[in-house]
Structure 1
Amino acid sequence: MRQVEGKVEILRKKNLGRTPVPIDGKRVLIVKLRYIGDTLSIIPVIDNIKRNAKGAEIDVMVNKGTEEVLIHQPGIARLWPYDRHAAKRSALGSITYHVQLLRQLRGRRYDVVMDFTHGDRASFLCYLTGSPFRISYLNSSRLAKTLMNHFISAEASEMHIVDYQLEALKPFGMNHFRRKIDLHIPAPVQEKVDRLLGGKGVSAGLKVAIHPGARGTLRQWPPERFAEIARRLQSENGADILLVGGPSESALVESVEQGLRSPALFKSTQLGLLEMACLFSRCRIFVGNDSAPAHLAAAAGCPTLTLFGPTFPKMWQPLSDRGEVIFKNVDCCGCRQEECIRPGRSCMQMIEVEEVWAKVLNMLS
């Protein structure tokens, strides 16, 4: 066991010696089988390897449906979308899918594999790549401790997820990191978004994006409160409102628009991920729940006001130097319940309209 930078240590089953392990010219696979915001969070890992490891070749595996945010990112040699539906279709279908996938992965002959998923499935895939150097975290699953062979000990609850993941690069001699999530949005996407806005995308005027949805109702602020914020922005600030959501959030978006003083300048639940990020880049501020669009807005350079419920912003808030959060740190925060144990007074319901309005005005001033 060797101490690295005071608070982080790498525990290993094989002795790596006292000097950093070089990965210049090595082939590296990064695995993160989670959600859209999680996929965005590995961009700094990719960028820092590319900046510090000369000639390193970086492949990335993420869940299918999240890969769009990485398609145009520089520094990625090959992108592997992991198809969860194909993997679970049937016993035979799962075996067939994984055999074909692993044959291709093993053909890449990875020197290093890094798993940022914290799940058994990802650990199993990493192990079967045949890579001799497989990195995970000490707080990963029991199976990961068997299948992986080098472990990083870091306190996830004490740092942002981006910093937590960058700690895995320290054994390779990297200690000074660039934390920014540089999301590349190609020109055709920007042109399409400006057409969708009817030429108003780059025009003057206050534009505010609002996303009322989230993954799970416990993370959603009441839609009528979003409508109240939007209505005030229209009445008192002359703002144009842009309402966005995912394909399953049409009713939620409609309910917010019904409470507006006038129709939204733009409304959609069918945007691609990069289109949504580009849309946010045309806005003065984003207001929404702790969900993927908030992370897309921050990555696109839009100031964000994110409302947090049962998740901790210290680790998960959108990475931005122009971001604000509102968070009620109730004693049951961190729960994974489907139904709140505080009916009528959930952590999201505790966030008042006046509190959000004050933050919005401060960010616009």
Structure 2
Amino acid sequence: MTGSPGSASADPAAAAPAVLMVGVNWIGDAVMSMPAVQAWRALNPAARLTMLVKPPLAPLWRMHAAPDDVAAIEPGSLGAVRTGLALRARHFDRAYILPHSFRAAWIAAWSGAPERIGLPGLARGLLGVRVVQSRSGPDRAHQQFEYLDLLLGPGAAAAPEPPRLRIPPEAAASAARWLAGLPAGPRVAMMSGAARGPAKRWPVERFAEAARRLAADHGCAVIALGSPAEAADAAAIAAAAGGRGLSLAGRTDISQWAAVLAGCALAVSNDSGGMHLAAAAGTPVVAVFGRTDPGRTGPLGPLCDVVQAPGARSRDIGREDEDAVRRLAAVTVDEVMDRCVRRLARGGATGGGRSCVP
């Protein structure tokens, strides 16, 4: 892919640097890294960028404009070695390592990229990784700035643009077919799941009550989304909306999920990957937070609101964190409905690409 030295002057593409980015492992983290990748791409338009991620995240990055190619990491230790050796044939000039994990840096080392740059993590020096320390500050608390500092340099002054996804036509067509059967009215997506368990899940009964009110009092159509494991909760939410509800939990792939969100006037969600996906799809968001800090990991973009009970905030909490569960239970349906109604009334208002705050 890089061409021979003798052909560089005749072929400008041959002189373009080949760059590998080892991406993060969760939907939410991936979306939070997108503003930095976008900013890097704007400064390096000629570079040939390969994004390397776990297989479930490959379709997400294929919806993004920055990578020229998206590659998947094979599972297991031997798979990591095979992945690295396959990448070596591409002759990368540089590798950026976005995760803090040893495995991500190990694969980058196997790729043979002579310059390897990453955030702090285990055995970085041993693996030949130059570590970049992110610079914090009052206006740089959000996780997106860690990735911005990695890709653009510590303290990068760039004002990051919100994450942007391109919905594939086939996914948009699938979403249109599903949504066509709903009654007229604003479409509201509801996502009651969260990978971190009860510490990030507003009670499903409250999602259902909000769905009932949105349908009965405001003429909304409610679409419940989630994984196959969340199908029962999604069915209960859709049922609460009566004939104005639809459950698609477990029926969409990630591109179809994004397409459905893009077709909605609003998304109501826990602090989850679905929340970040909705923001990246350009859909207004009302997010319910427990104890996690929206200033550090909140959805990115101007069209979102966060509802959170008062109290101390933390970036890292356990799945069963009692204070987080209590704080979620303290958020009322009335509070969430107030934000939903106000956001629906504002429609497509736009603003700067900052993280949402309560």
TM-score > 0.5 by shorter chain: yes
Contact 1:59 1:80 in 2 (8 A): yes
Aligned match of 2:149: 167
Is the deviation greater in 65-74 or in 290-299? Answer: 65-74
Choose which of 291, 304, 311 in structure 2 pairs with 1:323.
304
CA shift in 2, pair 1:319/1:236, >3 Å:
same
Report the CA distance between 1:181 and its aligned residue.
1.3
Aligned match of 1:355: 335
Query: 1:54-90 CA deviation, whole Å, 9 max, x = no partner?
Result: 421101111111111112433423212123xx31xxx
Query: 1:113-145 CA deviation, whole Å, 9 max, x = no partner?
Result: 1111111111221222222221112xx224224
Asked if residue 27 in structure 1 is aligned to residue 9 in structure 2, the reply is no
Report the CA distance between 1:166 and its aligned residue.
1.5
Aligned match of 2:191: 211
Aligned match of 1:251: 232
CA RMSD for the aligned pairs? 2.6
Aligned match of 2:351: none
Runs of 4+ residues deviating >6 angstroms: none
What secondary structure sits across from 1:255 in the alignment? helix
CA shift in 2, pair 1:142/1:99, >3 Å:
closer
Is the deviation greater in 176-185 or in 114-123? Answer: 176-185
Report the CA distance between 1:243 and its aligned residue.
0.9
Give the Cα–Cα distance (whole angstroms) in 2 for the partners of residues 335 and 292 of structure 1.
16
Choose which of 120, 132, 144 in structure 2 pairs with 1:152.
132
Choose which of 287, 290, 294 in structure 1 pairs with 2:275.
294
Query: 1:313-338 CA deviation, whole Å, 9 max, x = no partner?
Result: 11211111011112335347344323
Asked if residue 118 in structure 1 is aligned to residue 109 in structure 2, the reply is no
Is the deviation greater in 39-48 or in 166-175? Answer: 166-175
Paired AA for residue 198 in structure 1: A
Normalising by structure 1, report the TM-score. 0.82
Paired AA for residue 267 in structure 2: F
What secondary structure sits across from 1:286 in the alignment? strand
What secondary structure sits across from 1:209 in the alignment? strand
CA shift in 2, pair 1:263/1:75, >3 Å:
closer
Give the Cα–Cα distance (whole angstroms) in 2 for the partners of residues 277 and 185 of structure 1.
7
What secondary structure sits across from 1:65 in the alignment? helix
Give 5+ residue unaligned stretches, structure 1.
1-23, 88-93
Paired AA for residue 349 in structure 1: A
Paired AA for residue 192 in structure 2: P
Asked if residue 337 in structure 1 is aligned to residue 328 in structure 2, the reply is no
Give the Cα–Cα distance (whole angstroms) in 2 for the partners of residues 42 and 128 of structure 1.
23
Paired AA for residue 58 in structure 1: L
Contact 1:309 1:333 in 2 (8 A): no
Identity of aligned residues (%): 25
CA shift in 2, pair 1:174/1:332, >3 Å:
closer
Paired AA for residue 33 in structure 2: I
Aligned match of 1:240: 221
Report the CA distance between 1:174 and its aligned residue.
7.3
Report the CA distance between 1:212 and its aligned residue.
0.9
Aligned match of 1:76: 67
Please show how residues 70-109 of structure 1 align to structure 2 within 5 Å: 70-83=61-74, 86-87=75-76, 94-95=77-78, 97-109=79-91
Give the Cα–Cα distance (whole angstroms) in 1 for the partners of residues 20 and 61 of structure 2.
14
Give the Cα–Cα distance (whole angstroms) in 2 for the partners of residues 225 and 238 of structure 1.
18
Report the CA distance between 1:152 and its aligned residue.
1.9
CA shift in 2, pair 1:329/1:144, >3 Å:
farther
Give the Cα–Cα distance (whole angstroms) in 2 for the partners of residues 68 and 361 of structure 1.
33
Give the Cα–Cα distance (whole angstroms) in 1 for the partners of residues 322 and 154 of structure 2.
45
Report the CA distance between 1:245 and its aligned residue.
1.0
Paired AA for residue 320 in structure 1: G
Asked if residue 191 in structure 1 is aligned to residue 173 in structure 2, the reply is yes
Asked if residue 37 in structure 1 is aligned to residue 28 in structure 2, the reply is yes
Contact 2:63 2:168 in 1 (8 A): yes
Contact 2:22 2:104 in 1 (8 A): yes
Paired AA for residue 338 in structure 1: R
What secondary structure sits across from 1:295 in the alignment? helix
What secondary structure sits across from 1:241 in the alignment? strand
Contact 2:22 2:52 in 1 (8 A): yes
Contact 1:116 1:136 in 2 (8 A): yes
Query: How many pairs does the alignment contain?
Result: 328
CA shift in 2, pair 1:226/1:39, >3 Å:
same
Is the deviation greater in 120-129 or in 151-160? Answer: 151-160
Aligned match of 1:128: 110
